[in-house]
Amino acid sequence: MGAPMRRQFLHDNRLFPADSVTRAIAQRLFKEVRDLPIVSPHGHTQAQWFASNDPFPDPARLFIVPDHYIFRMLYSQGVKIEDLGVGTYGQTPEAQKAFDARRVWRIFAEHHYLFRGTPTRLWLDYIFQNLFDLKERLTAKNADAYFDAISEALATPEFRPRALYEDFRIEVLATTDSPLDSLEHHLALAKSGWRGRVIPTFRPDAVVDPDYADFATNVARLGEMTGEDTSTWRGYLAALRKSRERFKAAGATATDHGHPTAATADLDAIEATKLFDRVLRNAQPGTQTESHAQHAADAELFRAQMLTEMARMSLDDGLVMQLHPGAFRNHNADVHTRFGRDVGGDIPTATDYVHALRPLLNRFGNDARLTLIVFTLDESSYSRELAPLAGHYPALRLGPAWWFHDSPEGMMRFRELTTETAGFYNTVGFNDDTRAFLSIPTRHDVARRIDCVFLARLVAEHRLEEDEARELATDLAGNLARKAYRL
Amino acid sequence: MGAPMRRQFLHDNRLFPADSVTRAIAQRLFKEVRDLPIVSPHGHTQAQWFASNDPFPDPARLFIVPDHYIFRMLYSQGVKIEDLGVGTYGQTPEAQKAFDARRVWRIFAEHHYLFRGTPTRLWLDYIFQNLFDLKERLTAKNADAYFDAISEALATPEFRPRALYEDFRIEVLATTDSPLDSLEHHLALAKSGWRGRVIPTFRPDAVVDPDYADFATNVARLGEMTGEDTSTWRGYLAALRKSRERFKAAGATATDHGHPTAATADLDAIEATKLFDRVLRNAQPGTQTESHAQHAADAELFRAQMLTEMARMSLDDGLVMQLHPGAFRNHNADVHTRFGRDVGGDIPTATDYVHALRPLLNRFGNDARLTLIVFTLDESSYSRELAPLAGHYPALRLGPAWWFHDSPEGMMRFRELTTETAGFYNTVGFNDDTRAFLSIPTRHDVARRIDCVFLARLVAEHRLEEDEARELATDLAGNLARKAYRL
Amino acid sequence: MGAPMRRQFLHDNRLFPADSVTRAIAQRLFKEVRDLPIVSPHGHTQAQWFASNDPFPDPARLFIVPDHYIFRMLYSQGVKIEDLGVGTYGQTPEAQKAFDARRVWRIFAEHHYLFRGTPTRLWLDYIFQNLFDLKERLTAKNADAYFDAISEALATPEFRPRALYEDFRIEVLATTDSPLDSLEHHLALAKSGWRGRVIPTFRPDAVVDPDYADFATNVARLGEMTGEDTSTWRGYLAALRKSRERFKAAGATATDHGHPTAATADLDAIEATKLFDRVLRNAQPGTQTESHAQHAADAELFRAQMLTEMARMSLDDGLVMQLHPGAFRNHNADVHTRFGRDVGGDIPTATDYVHALRPLLNRFGNDARLTLIVFTLDESSYSRELAPLAGHYPALRLGPAWWFHDSPEGMMRFRELTTETAGFYNTVGFNDDTRAFLSIPTRHDVARRIDCVFLARLVAEHRLEEDEARELATDLAGNLARKAYRL
């Protein structure tokens, strides 16, 4: 670090403010947390990588194909998704055969300038320099040299998943998994004797969201897996309970819920039973009897009720709840149809929390044994709704700046807009939330830097003393996540 | 100030930016306004304190029990409300008997770290150091020493309400009062010969909001107090007019309205009469004939109409109108039931002004003799709705950053988001809006500092000249409040 | 520039941050773009000014009467619109006769302090100093001297429209015009031999918005002008196509659409035909058969459908689309009635894009041959909706900070809230959007400075290298506008 050649595209003082007083404080604070172990309580890496410990494929398949931040930007500027081999299309035999990793890499390199000012640029520069020892900024000209250097490194033992996990100083890494998943890789890892801690997270969207593809089939499959009759409300709840137990046994400490809104409901058992029956009947192919509007309302109410059911189960089994609401999924119908989920333009929407969360919070929000971590894509809710709610309900905590806001400016706004009302201790530290395993260190690096900058400003403006800021920096870098996620 | 021992937890340059150029300008500007008298045109202190001039009770009853900022944060982190003696529970004989002020103080001291980065921390540090001459940051260790020092001071004559009022250099202090209040303490004060100016504010929620507890009884009581028949629309309006006159005679210059939304209406006399009859009939115990939805709609429309009626009366009697909309009151049903109003989690909601205020503004907004001061808890409305409205209608002014946004970051956002469209002269200076009398100087101190920092940035960036900034700092520190509130 | 006398009210480092590191970078970047030619792809100047090349009238008619930023602020503080000679009132013979330019100028000068902290202040100071060589800040005292100096200058050949256009180094200037406009001045200019490029923009609100005054008459007139039968959906579309061709032949490269919302629709031909028939029938005087609510819904749906029709035509003729939604026009009914459009308080409203734009985007948003530039008055949509949409759809670009947000703070928020998700290259550079021809250089000066400050911060924080920032500054100052608007 700091060697003249490297200074070129990744500065050791990156993200620190220019003002020398604040910068000096930020540097001192960052020194305390820079090398702390990484706690990653929420993300989308694959347990299989660590179970099999196979080398990662070529640079294109590693960096471009799975990264929606990257292909979204390329697509917005006219690059064709077919040319990147992305999504379901990329998984067809023809596409796999035609896939030319070097060609995809060159397209990316030619468009690298599009990422100026974005977190993607920061993340990749860190990886290129710190992991692959590259010394010049990526351009169309050095694209091939980059490709070769990265390819060469990926073939070495140091770049196998487990070796990187250790090199990254990861303390715990949570994946995100369906109740229909066998968790075989997590179980294999546990038996393997490897010291890494890769734990699943219970994400039941496929079996609690009536709008999820193949919902009825999924619910039936859940019944088979648990030996419960999931055609009844009672059996369905029992199956979910068993499924959660299975996750817990495999190391899970949390659940996660990705809903279009933050709506919750608190129906009585009779209403809930009727709703379940209606929803399940309507989900059977060929048996839809409800109007589209009625079905949509039922689906929304069912998701809402299921959040409250999950909270009830969390009070029993101790799993921490996470709620990630507010994305309009697959906004681009044509691209969704042709390339599948996570490619078709997920776009945030205005999201209400104050009315939406009330049924659940009024039922369980006063119970400090429950932890419900809420995220948002609607920054206008930070100071207006989320900080006041988290600054009141014992069960509620604020998740960090998420997705489009997982960025230097986004993280800074999160602190500026929540701290004065919710404080630091109603937040839960950082989530890297990534599919890109190699980006985990840089994402935590960015988060720790920005928190240190925010704290440094408070110290420089005499709103906090430096010993307090040091303690806070350490708490934000890991302790709050350990506590909130019960790790 | 500035003595080495004190530097420890309250710096004389607090809230000033680290950049030396801007800081120097801010210091020069602040020097001009630091010691100006305090104009407090809106707040929630009690006239009785000054009328009786009794000593304040112990530190816990002074600082913790009445401060919703404090017990909200403690509650969010698992402290029980019962253990703090807060709300209606705290007023029961058992609770009063069991109340252990030192124990409550210790709980607070143990959790003092929760307030890092919050305005509560800033306010209290100022009070501890400047009023009680405490020299170390509050911790669990020095909790008892703090308790003793504060208790001892509170027993001295210098800490009686009137002495503090004078020491604080308060020029005028407005309380907030119901039309059902006798104003006896205000009247007693006026006769007392004491030179302090403590004036009431007409806050008619209890008699204009059909959802207010005991609305029908309150309206009947208003009739008794004024000798008007408040069972008719005409008599009801006459009673309100008389009541306003009574407040005016007791020194009031303003009214205040705390509504769930900013809705206004401009019904004709026939519609208004019918609405009043419906609303009043439904408010009689045992006579509800309307559906819940119809009642809710009527209540909302009635509150909306009453704002326009209040504007009409203001044009006659010259009282300035304040509107504080947008809080979802008592969000936490269980806590509200057990501990009462102002404890149960009031949470801001998304608030529309552009459609909501139009009926009133189209009726009276072009009349420069009316002053309507509007506040918001929804910061997204600052630049989108409120600054454009206040930058157009002669009757409209923007109240300062309110409640959850009455904080350094919140005040700075207020200026950044409103000044370019509404200017400074469509704003009304600072409101401390506090129940905590001892916090009045520190709240004005924070507001003056932040305004000076904002102005200093404009000067440093050559967007304003320093002589103009000096004039503005003085106007923001008092003149704008004097003018807007007709003090 | 920079002479001691001038430093008084317009500093060469204006808008640059106080921090010396960032300021030095900003200065270096600004040096690269300061003198670049001005590309003005969207605004409200008049082709006639350049066709006739008559001198501008007195200072009041030049600066006050046409500038809604100015009279809005004066009106908000109690100045009467009649006293300013503004709006339709100002065009009556009595008002024209009574108009006293010097008196209006004095009123403005007396209230000049109201504009402290506003962009109007910055714009005017630049004009006063740089164009009229005035050396002191405007005050009530020097109002007459200002008036005389400006009047004198306006009488000279150097202040004729064409001379100023050249002096301002304008490369291209787009006006905004109705399909019912003859474009005679644009055509005359083209034949005149003058080297200035003043091009029209196709703004069809008058013939596509059923709520526009005289809609039916306008549609009939469109038919006459194009020789098409605009009483049928087919003929109406053909007339619009011909009209667009006429604009294109006169130099237009873009259309513009000012709608109350961003709603789009994608009806089939049968539904669209029925809707057109209904809307046109209802617009005929004396034939309204629909309820008010039904008419409002039809009007909204028709505007929505017409945006999609315009996109379809753009794919054929290559005109770039601009959408300016979200203003509640003529909020102040009384002022609107008495003084006409653009005087009666246009106020932004909360604006949804994610659902509203979907029909159009799902139809044409994946076609990179289309360019749809979207603006907003609702800053909460920047990071939540607009940046994610523009960072995905190939056809979508973000217009710059608009109207109330066309200001230093507003422009900075635009970059801070959009760059991390949409990058710089999904934005389109600056629009001055002005009726005030003399303000064009200062508006571009402000935009270039703020972009340089934003870039300088990224460089100072090592998020971007200075060679990249230089390239970006140049792109933002002109290249992006040239490309997006096909100039």
Q: Residue C200: which residues within 8 A CB-CB, separation 6 or more?
A: C47, C174, C175, C176, C177, C181, C183, C186, C247, C250, C251, C252
What is the predicted pLDDT for the residue at C342?
Answer: 83
Query: Nearest CA of chain B to the CA of C183: how many Å?
Result: 34
Q: Tell me: the pLDDT tens digits for B109-144?
A: 999 999 999 999 999 999 999 999 998 999 999 999
Looking at the partner chain, which of C13, C116, C378 has a beta carbon nearest the beta carbon of B462? C13
The average pLDDT across C205-211 equals: 97
Q: Is residue B285's pLDDT more than 80? A: no
Q: What does each C-alpha distance from C466 to C268, C420, C458 come to in angstroms? A: 51, 18, 9
Distance between start and end Cα atoms, chain A: 32
Preferred mutation among C25, C363, C383 to probe A, highest tally of A CBs within 10 A: C383
Beta-strand relationship, A320-323 and A372-374: parallel
Looking at the partner chain, which of A17, A20, A377 has a beta carbon nearest the beta carbon of C461? A17
Q: Is residue B272's pLDDT more than 70? A: yes
Using CA coordinates, name the residue in chain B closest to C15.
B461
* Percent of chain B scoring above 70 in pLDDT: 98
CB contact under 8 A, B404 and A389: no
Beta-strand relationship, A254-257 and A347-348: unpaired
Query: Complex ipTM, two decimals?
Result: 0.96
Looking at the partner chain, which of A365, A416, A423 has a beta carbon nearest the beta carbon of B73? A423
Q: B153-183 burial, b if ≥16 CB within 10 A, otherwise e?
A: bbeeeebbbbebbeebebbbbbbbbbbbbeb
Q: What share of chain C is helix, strand, coil (3-state, %, to 5)?
A: 55, 5, 40
What is the predicted pLDDT for the residue at B344?
Answer: 80
State the average pLDDT for chain B: 95
Query: Nearest CA of chain C to the CA of B210: how many Å?
Result: 29
- Give one word for C63, left, alpha or beta, with left for phi > 0 and alpha for psi -120 to 50: alpha
The average pLDDT across C56-68 equals: 93
Q: Tell me: the pLDDT tens digits for B47-85?
A: 999 999 999 999 999 999 989 999 999 999 999 999 998
Residue in C58, C61, C60, C55 with CA at minimum distance from that of residue C160: C55
Looking at the partner chain, which of A18, A114, A410 has a beta carbon nearest the beta carbon of C21? A18
Q: Tell me: the pLDDT tens digits for C269-288?
A: 999 999 999 999 998 877 66
Residues from chain C contacting residue B21 (CB–CB below 8 Å)? 18-20
Residues from chain B contacting residue A394 (CB–CB below 8 Å)? 75-78
CB contact under 8 A, A328 and C354: yes
Q: Tell me: the pLDDT tens digits for B230-267?
A: 999 999 999 999 999 999 999 999 999 999 999 999 99
Top-confidence residue, C46 or C288: C46
Query: Nearest CA of chain C to the CA of B459: how many Å?
Result: 9
Preferred mutation among C351, C384, C455 to probe A, highest tally of A CBs within 10 A: C384
Looking at the partner chain, which of B358, B368, B424 has a beta carbon nearest the beta carbon of C116? B424
Q: Tell me: the pLDDT tens digits for A134-192?
A: 999 999 999 999 999 999 999 999 999 999 999 999 999 999 999 999 999 999 999 99
Residues from chain C contacting residue A111 (CB–CB below 8 Å)? none
What is the predicted pLDDT for the residue at B371?
Answer: 98
Looking at the partner chain, which of C20, C75, C117 has a beta carbon nearest the beta carbon of B394? C75
Query: Nearest CA of chain C to the CA of B416: how many Å?
Result: 7
What is the length of chain A? 487
* CA B320 remoteness from chain centre: 15
Looking at the partner chain, which of A354, A394, A416 has a beta carbon nearest the beta carbon of B78? A394
Q: What does each C-alpha distance from B436 to A319, B196, B268, B442 come to in angstroms? A: 40, 18, 42, 11
Using CA coordinates, name the residue in chain C closest to B395.
C76
Neighbours of chain B (3+ CB pairs under 8 A): A, C
Look up tokens 């980065």; give the residue: B117
The C-alpha angle A389, A391, A395, rounded to 5 degrees, equals 70
> Coil, strand, or helix at residue A76?
helix
Query: Nearest CA of chain B to the CA of C366: how many Å?
Result: 31
Look up tokens 């400016």; give the residue: A409
Query: Nearest CA of chain B to the CA of C115: how many Å?
Result: 6
Q: Tell me: the pLDDT tens digits for B290-304?
A: 788 899 999 999 999
Question: What is the C-alpha separation between C390 and A72, in angstroms, rounded?
Answer: 10
What is the predicted pLDDT for the residue at A5?
Answer: 40
Q: Tell me: the pLDDT tens digits for C13-29?
A: 999 999 999 999 999 99
**Tokens encoding A319:** 């799993």
* Percent of chain C scoring above 90 in pLDDT: 91
Q: Tell me: the pLDDT tens digits for C135-152?
A: 999 999 999 999 999 999
What is the predicted pLDDT for the residue at C324?
Answer: 98
Question: What is the C-alpha separation between B65 and B59, in angstroms, rounded?
Answer: 9
pTM for this one?
0.97
What is the predicted pLDDT for the residue at C16?
Answer: 98
The C-alpha angle B361, B366, B371, rounded to 5 degrees, equals 75
* DSSP for residue C375: -
Query: Nearest CA of chain A to the CA of B303: how many Å?
Result: 21
The average pLDDT across B368-378 equals: 98
CB contact under 8 A, B78 and A380: no
* Percent of chain C scoring above 70 in pLDDT: 98
What is the predicted pLDDT for the residue at A87?
Answer: 84
**One pLDDT digit (tens) per residue for chain A, 487 residues:** 333 343 456 899 999 999 999 999 999 999 999 999 999 999 999 999 999 999 999 999 999 998 999 999 999 999 999 999 888 888 889 888 989 999 999 999 999 999 999 999 999 999 999 999 999 999 999 999 999 999 999 999 999 999 999 999 999 999 999 999 999 999 999 999 999 999 999 999 999 999 999 999 999 999 999 999 999 999 999 999 999 999 999 999 999 999 999 999 999 999 999 999 999 999 887 766 678 889 999 999 999 999 999 999 999 999 999 999 999 999 999 999 999 888 889 999 999 999 999 999 999 999 999 999 999 999 999 999 999 999 999 999 999 999 999 999 999 999 999 999 999 999 999 999 999 999 999 999 999 999 999 999 999 999 999 999 999 999 999 999 999 999 9
Neighbours of chain C (3+ CB pairs under 8 A): A, B
Q: Map out the domains of chain C with their CATH numbers.
A: 57-157 (1.10.2020.10), 163-484 (3.20.20.140)
Question: What is the C-alpha separation between B375 and C414, in angstroms, rounded?
Answer: 25
What is the predicted pLDDT for the residue at C290?
Answer: 72
Question: What is the C-alpha separation between B148 and B142, in angstroms, rounded?
Answer: 10
- Interface size between B and C, measured as CB pairs under 8 A: 133
**Tokens encoding B262:** 């900013």
Residues from chain C contacting residue B420 (CB–CB below 8 Å)? 117-119, 404, 407-410
Using only C-alpha atoms, chain C has a radius of gyration, in whole angstroms, of: 23
Q: Is residue C434's pLDDT more than 50? A: yes
What is the predicted pLDDT for the residue at B290?
Answer: 72
Strands (E), A129-238: 170-174, 198-199
Query: Nearest CA of chain B to the CA of C381: how many Å?
Result: 10
Beta partners for residue B170, in sequence order: B38
DSSP letter string, B364-423 = HTT-TT--EEE--S-THHIIIIIHHHHTT-TTEEEPPP-GGG-SHHHHHHHHHHHHHHHT
- Interface size between A and C, measured as CB pairs under 8 A: 134
Q: Are C352 and C374 in contact (CB under 8 A)?
A: no
What is the predicted pLDDT for the residue at C255?
Answer: 98
CB contact under 8 A, B19 and C19: yes
Strand-by-strand arrangement of the C372-374 sheet: C254-257, C320-323, C372-374, C396-398
What is the predicted pLDDT for the residue at B260?
Answer: 97
Residue in A428, A300, A308 with CA at minimum distance from that of residue A358: A308
Question: What is the C-alpha separation between C367 and C375, in angstroms, rounded?
Answer: 20
What is the predicted pLDDT for the residue at A22?
Answer: 98
Residues from chain A contacting residue B378 (CB–CB below 8 Å)? 380, 384
State the average pLDDT for chain C: 95
Residue in C439, C436, C356 with CA at minimum distance from that of residue C46: C436
Residue in C453, C461, C410 with CA at minimum distance from that of residue C431: C410
Query: Nearest CA of chain B to the CA of C348: how many Å?
Result: 6
What is the predicted pLDDT for the residue at B4?
Answer: 39
Question: What is the C-alpha separation between B73 and A391, in angstroms, rounded?
Answer: 5
Three-class secondary structure assignment of C391-453: CCCCCEEECCCCHHHCCHHHHHHHHHHHHHHHCCCCECCCCCCCCCHHHHHHHHHHHHHHHHH
- Give one word for C423, left, alpha or beta, with left for phi > 0 and alpha for psi -120 to 50: left
CB contact under 8 A, A75 and C392: yes
CB contact under 8 A, A423 and B118: yes
What is the predicted pLDDT for the residue at B89?
Answer: 81
CB contact under 8 A, B462 and C11: yes
Question: What is the C-alpha separation between C389 and C371, in angstroms, rounded?
Answer: 13
The answer to which of B282-291, B444-453, C155-164, C261-270 has the lowest mean pLDDT is B282-291
Beta partners for residue B177, in sequence order: B202
Preferred mutation among B116, B339, B442 to probe A, highest tally of A CBs within 10 A: B116
Q: Tell me: the pLDDT tens digits for C149-196?
A: 999 999 999 999 999 999 999 999 999 999 999 999 999 999 999 999
